[in-house]
Amino acid sequence: MELTLQQQTIEAEDALAVQELFFQNEWADGLPVVPPTKNKIEAMLNAVPMDPQTIIGAIPERGCVFTLEVAAINSVMAGCLPEYFPVVVTAVSAISDPAFGLHGPSASTHGPAILIIVNGPVTKSIGLNHGQNLFGPGVRANSTIGRAVRLILLNAGGTREFDRSTLGHGGKFSYCIAENETTEWLPLHVQKGYDPQSSSVTVFAGEAPNQFQNHTSQKAESILLTLADRMSALGTFNINGHSEMAVILCPEHYYTCRDQGWNKKKIQDFLQKNAFRNKAELIRGGVLEEEIKPGDEQERIHTVKSAEDILLVVAGGEAGRFSACIPGWGSLHYCRSVTRPLNQATCDT
- Residue partners of 288: CB distance under 8 A and separation at least 6: 279, 282
Q: 233 near 346, Cβ under 8 Å? A: no
Burial status of residue 343 (CB atoms within 10 A of its CB: 0-12, 13-18, 19 or more)? exposed
- The C-alpha atoms of residue 228 and residue 212 are separated, in whole angstroms, by 10
pLDDT, tens digit (0-9, with 9 covering 90-100), for 250-270? 999 999 999 999 999 999 999
| Best CA proximity match to 186, nearest among 196, 200, 197 | 196
- Residue partners of 346: CB distance under 8 A and separation at least 6: 50, 54, 55, 56, 93
300 beta partners: 278
Q: What element of type H or E holds 94?
A: helix 85-95
| Best CA proximity match to 264, nearest among 178, 179, 326 | 179
Burial status of residue 138 (CB atoms within 10 A of its CB: 0-12, 13-18, 19 or more)? exposed
* pLDDT, block means (10 residues), the chain with 349 residues: 66 86 94 95 96 96 96 98 98 98 96 98 98 97 98 96 95 98 97 96 98 96 98 90 92 98 98 96 93 96 95 97 96 94 57
**Residues belonging to the chain:** 349
Three-state DSSP class for residue 347: coil
Residue 190's Cα: distance from chain center in Å? 18
311 beta partners: 246
- pLDDT at residue 349, rounded to an integer: 35
- The C-alpha atoms of residue 248 and residue 209 are separated, in whole angstroms, by 9
Domain boundaries, the chain: 1-207+334-349, 208-328
Could you tell me whether strands 322-327 and 210-213 are parallel, antiparallel, or unpaired per DSSP bridges?
A: antiparallel
Task: Using a pLDDT cut of 90, give the percent of the chain over it.
Answer: 89
